[in-house]
Amino acid sequence: MPRTDDDRPRGSAAEGLAVPVLSGLARRLARVATLAIRARDGRLLLRTPSSRADQTMEIPTVPLSAPTLGDLLVAKGRAWIRVSPGSDGYVLTASSSAAAGVTWAASSGGGGGGSSLDPFGRLWVVEDWIGRTTEDGEWGMLGWSSTAISSGTQSLQPVSTGTGWREAGVMRLGGGSSGASASNPRGRVHYLGEDNASGITPLYGQPGEGVYFACKVRISSSTLNQQTVWTGVWEKSKTWPDPSGVNSNSGIGVRVSSNSATTLGNWLGVVRNGSTETTVDLGVLADANWQTIGWRATASGIQFIVRSSGAWVDTGGEIPWANSAMPSTSTELAPVIAATGHSISARTADFDTWALWADDLERGA
């Protein structure tokens, strides 16, 4: 086939690399057979047969050196940022405070995986205090039992605060009365399960990987001292897990405590085996503001978490299963919510939501 004028290559070797351009995108481009391309100072210099002047195109900065398995590239303006892979089980979450606009965060559960739809592989214990009753064993939607911690007068009432949906059901637990002291707090406890001399029995041993616990809580007392509040899964419902380790009570949960005039301070994550405990500062203050706090069980231990900007965030270091303060594999545990006062004046705490959940749970025999 004879060559036409449009078949002849354009440009020269001195001008750079000749690159064929496919026709068909537009009538004008169909007449262009080649482009001359050169690289200079981080730019592409393009030259077409119709224009002998260089046309400049910037080359975006792409961090390609020393790549790691699982690296992601995220756009930021005209540049790209490399995001390293997160921990196992984490999900990529939008975050306006992160340099890349996204960050890795612990999954909040749920999803449509096949096994997660299996009721025999799911643990789902969620209380939002919609029920209103004062009958023992019928508190809330789950039918919590209620009992006093020590003697004296304690406060236990459903509280409706605000007008929003999120505050539709709130449970207030309180303590503090005549006879309360630094070593002998008086208050109230909710629990699920059988309360007997050996403990509480619905759950047995250490939680499996993928189990989550969280609660939404605030201190409703006007005075933020001489009070202990604890919740999570515990062996004994009425035994105060004192920071000094005098009492014996095993569990995994959160606690804030001051048996003196000292202000409560931050919420703590607690793992406790009898009178031995290890704590983690959760970095959120125990005061009149709502806080959503808890823990998740991993393959290697307990990681405490807080809810921030709609996502779960790990806080503090993970406590390994081998830690001496971890409840044993044969400890009986159950949901417990407790508030006590170390003063003759009333001390109260509000709970909006309490949850213990897991998907893909491998149940024991």
Exposure string of 188-201, with b = 16+ CB inside 10 Å and e = fewer, is: bbbbbbebeeebbe
User: Do residues 71 and 55 lie in contact, with contact meaning Cβ atoms separated by under 8 Å?
Assistant: no
Q: Which residues 6+ apart lie within 8 Å of 152 measured at CB?
A: 177, 178, 179, 180, 186
Q: What are the tokens at 142?
A: 């789950």
Whole-number pLDDT of residue 326: 96
Q: 263: number of CA atoms within 13 Å, CB side? A: 7
Give CA 246 to chain center in angstroms.
32
- β-bridge partners, 357: 124, 212
Q: How many residues does the chain have?
A: 365
What's the confidence (pLDDT) of residue 3?
A: 45
> Which residues, other chains included, contact 20 with Cβ-Cβ below 8 Å and sequence gap of 6+?
33, 34
What local confidence, expressed as pLDDT, does residue 355 receive?
A: 94
Find the DSSP H helices in 19-84: 27-30
Q: Are 102 and 94 in contact (CB under 8 A)?
A: yes
pLDDT value of position 55: 57
pTM passes above 0.85: no
Cβ-Cβ contacts under 8 Å for 203 (sequence gap 6 or more)? 193, 233, 332, 333, 334
pLDDT at 321: 95
Instruction: Give the gyration radius of the chain's Cα atoms.
Output: 31
3-state secondary structure of 122: coil
DSSP 168-227: S-EEEEEE--TT--SSS-EEEEEE-S-EETTEE-SEESSPPTT-EEEEEEEE--SS-SSE
Among 365, 353, 338, residue whose Cα is nearest residue 146: 338
Q: List per-residue pLDDT tens for the chain, 365 residues long.
A: 444 444 444 444 334 333 443 344 444 444 444 455 555 554 555 555 555 555 555 556 666 677 778 888 888 777 778 888 888 778 888 887 788 888 888 765 443 333 344 555 677 889 988 765 666 667 888 888 888 888 655 556 666 555 555 555 788 888 887 778 888 889 888 898 865 545 556 788 889 888 999 999 999 888 899 999 999 999 988 888 999 999 999 999 999 999 888 999 999 999 999 999 999 999 999 999 999 999 999 999 999 999 998 899 999 999 999 999 999 998 889 999 999 999 888 888 999 889 999 876 655 54
Query: How many Cβ atoms from other residues are within 10 Å of residue 35's Cβ?
Result: 18
Under DSSP, is residue 117 helix (H, G, I), strand (E, B) or coil?
helix
Tell me the C-alpha distance between 134 and 157, whole Å.
8
* Domains, the chain, with CATH or none: 5-58 (no CATH), 72-106 (no CATH), 115-358 (2.60.120.560)
pLDDT at 81: 80
